Structure 1
Amino acid sequence: MATTVIADLCIFLLTWNVGTHSPREQQLNSLLALNGTTTCPDNQLPDIYVIGMQEVSTKQVLNIFQDDPWVLKIAGALQEHQFVKVEAKQLQGILITMFAHHKHVPHMKNIETEATRTGLGGLWGNKGAVSIRLSLYGTGAVFVCSHLAAHDDKLKERIEDYHQIVDNHKYHAQGYPRIFDHDFVFWFGDLNFRLSGDMSAWDVRTDVENMRYADLLKLDQLNLLREKGNAFSLLEEQQPNFAPTFKFVEGTNDYDLKRRPAWCDRILHRVQNNVYPGVTLSATQLSYQSHTDYTLSDHRPVSATFSYKVETSNQTYTDEELHDMTHGAASPGTSAPSSKYKKRCGRRSKGDT
């Protein structure tokens, strides 16, 4: 059976709560895998970077004509490697930006951004989500960066934030009006999930020092929620094999035991594998790590890389033809052929409705 590869990309995702700090003194080469070592196949640089940040300083948020200093800093690190900024979206302190190697830009269409405020009744936007969606080599992909309600006792609010984001994020692309209509979903950020139970901060730290991560992750609120189907159950997560990423004394790798250490910073994904006849979609996770050298804030940055593949069997689709199949013909007033091809099953699970 002949297989044609339409896309074979390495996508790098990063989430970091920067605690309102400026990027001035930060060297980003190691963080962005520009130092000669990557987790992509054959040690190549990623094809696409999607970076989400929380608690970005909002001092410049009113200057709508200039990118945030963090976006400019990332652009400066990437531009010499022939990456260009595709899009950025900011909602108060929540920021998402996408960079792609210039050779991929012609294969990116229908780019949209969206934002949902959840904090303080949605008035201020200190919590919520921003997203970028696009047709990527003909497939529908969405990247969501969120910052959910903080503190141990605010689990109910985090669940509500999640559902508010899912319900309120809406796009104009044919066939992809909502987050989970997309073929590929990547959701990351400071999700703020803590550990259930009443272990003391000192006991949690002891387990961390002894690398008993698996035991602690049995108490992780996000894992428990996904099992019950209350939130995030449509998404998958590779279990963290790194120490909790919150809360540190700034500038050190010492936990600030005013809070119990927790895996607040997470990266999840979802692929609808078999929605098109003869087309196979896959996103194989290649890495999941925290970056302990970056001690700027009380959170550690977390990154993941994915092998993003679009393949066809006994078909000779170009990505243009796949785009027409998935997103519908471009001419206005034309009904999307995607409904003819796309199996609409599995859009929402019982637990996430």
Structure 2
Amino acid sequence: MVTTSVIADLCIFLLTWNVGTHSPREQDLSSLLSLNGNTTCPDNQLPDIYVIGFQEVSTSQVLKIFQDDPWVLKIAGALQDHQFVKVDSKQLQGILITMFAQHKHIPHMKNIESEATRTGLGGLWGNKGAVSIRLSLYGTGVAFVCSHLAAHDDKLKERIEDYHQIVDNHKYNAEGYRRIFDHDFVFWFGDLNFRLSGEMSAWDVRTDVENMRYADLLKLDQLNLLREKGSAFSLLEEQQPDFAPTFKFVEGTNNYNLKRRPAWCDRILHRVQSNIYPGITLSANQLSYQSHMDYMLSDHKPVSATFSYKVDAANRTFTDEELHEMTHGAAPSPTAPNVSLTVAFAVLVVLSRTQL
């Protein structure tokens, strides 16, 4: 009889949002972060981990203390009453990724690193590119990548080049996990800027959207076509969107700005190497994939997804420390976030709320 021990069973919440250089000052993030009593995690519990990516954050509003962007401070303020600790953040001009976890998970996080790759102007400018956070999470190697790729309908070739430049140039120090796709789990999200192929007018696309003919439109989606051909993102999986295109809206409304054809620019993909360790099963079952139409700050809608992240061992009891030795080696590794700094950070959030 096969017996199974659970090393980890987490709910991970991912969010991507192009905020169009707007300040978070007037935004109530409770609904966006599922803090209003209605989550998509099992048993309606709060997520164990939040990983949030922004694009087009304003580069003129960074608070100099701790070098954190106002959006990170805003998220910290929303989460501070729920026992969450900031794990890490990384910013490349307007591209930002930040990670928060419930305090109880911090001892199970090691080898935390962040990285950035510029792709704008052939890699000279950071207005496009990617930022990422990688770590050992309950013994497994996990990479979270937030990217902003080249814009406009006619820049498909540039988007493909951006993707490959990120894959080639993103490098970490962790033994065995030097590159993004060395990781056991990869979550890649952001304003990927993929549009619809073909010559449909913006008005015709809007008509199909209004009639919820999403499946027909997604047959023209550049990201889907590229993945099928193996040109880019083919190592990743995506649950097909069952929501309206998230770009381009008239700011402050839910009306499309038909200067651009509506498109699913904002995406969340993932990859799991499920059976690469003897007796260990890794899984990341997607629980939700949705846009948030109530948020009208920019010309993009936020998009979120939740995943059930599980690590199971068959026929023996594994600890995540033993799994870490198997995956990352037994060498000394960077420790978890400095909780005393996190407490100070929380105090800063309270003091800064009037500025947000």
**Normalised TM-score (structure 2):** 0.92
Deviations 1:2-38 (A, max 9, x none): 1000000000000000000000000000000000000
Q: Do the aligned residues in 2 keep the contact of 1:286 with 1:305 (CA within 8 Å)? A: yes
In the other structure, the counterpart of 1:45 is 46
Q: 2:63 touches 2:69 (CA, 8 Å); kept in 1?
A: no
Q: By how many angstroms is 1:120 displaced?
A: 1.5
Partner residue in 1 for 2:247: 246
1:244-264 deviation line (CA, Å, top 9, x unaligned)? 000000000000000000000
Distance 1:31 1:293 in 2: 9
| Cα distance in 1 between the residues matched to 2:124 and 2:228 | 32
Aligned-partner SS, 1:230: coil
What are the equivalent positions in structure 2 for 1:189-268 lying under 5 Å apart?
189-268=190-269
Tell me the distance in 2 between the aligned counterparts of 1:141 and 1:96: 15
Higher relative contact order (CA closer than 8 Å, sequence separation 6+): 2
Find the residue that maps to 1:127 and give its secondary structure. Answer: strand
Separation (CA, whole Å) in 2 of partners of 1:102 and 1:34: 17
1:75 aligns with 2:76: yes
* Distance (Å, rounded) in 2 between the aligned partners of 1:321 and 1:206: 55
Aligned residue number for residue 125 of structure 1: 126
Distance of 2:290 and 2:240 partners within structure 1: 10
CA distance in 1 between partners of 2:251 and 2:153 (Å): 20
Report how far residue 124 of structure 1 moved.
Answer: 2.2
SS in 1 for 2:142: strand
> How high is the TM-score relative to the length of structure 1?
0.93
Deviating above 6 A after TM superposition, structure 1's stretches of 4 or more consecutive aligned residues are none
Alpha-carbon distance between aligned partners in 2 of 1:318 and 1:170, rounded to the nearest angstrom: 28
In structure 1, distance between residues paired with 2:36 and 2:226: 37
- Partner residue in 2 for 1:143: 144
The number of residue pairs the alignment matches comes to 332
After superposition, the C-alpha distances for 1:262-321 in whole angstroms (9 at most, x for unaligned) are: 000000000001100000000000000000000000000000000000000012110000
Matches of 2:112 and 2:53, distance apart in 1: 17
**Secondary structure of the structure 1 residue equivalent to 2:59:** coil
The aligned amino acid for 2:169 is N
Helix, strand or coil for the counterpart of 2:125? coil
- The alpha carbon displacement at 1:121 in A equals 2.1
Residues 1-353 of structure 1 aligned to structure 2 (within 5 Å): 1-61=2-62, 63=64, 65-331=66-332
**Partners in 1 of 2:3 and 2:137 — Cα distance?**
23
Which amino acid is the alignment partner of residue 20 of structure 1?
Answer: T
State the shift of 1:62 in Å. Answer: 8.6
Please state how far the C-alpha of 1:329 moved relative to its aligned partner. 1.2
| 8 Å contact kept, 2:62–2:70 | no
How far residue 171 of structure 1 moved from its aligned partner, in angstroms, is 0.4
- Letter of the structure 2 residue corresponding to residue 165 of structure 1: I
Q: Return the letter of the residue paired with 2:38.
A: T
Shift of 1:327: 0.3
Distance 1:62 1:42, change over 3 A: closer
Give the distance between the partners of 2:267 and 2:185, measured in 1 at CA.
17
Cα-Cα RMSD: 1.0
What is residue 335 of structure 1 aligned with on the other side? none
Q: 1:331 to 1:254 in 2, by over 3 A?
A: closer
Would you say the 8 A contact 1:61–1:92 is kept in 2? no
**1:34-89 deviation per Cα after TM superposition (whole angstroms, max 9, x unaligned):** 00000000000000000000000000459473310000000000010000100000
Distance in 1 of aligned mates of 2:89 and 2:66: 12
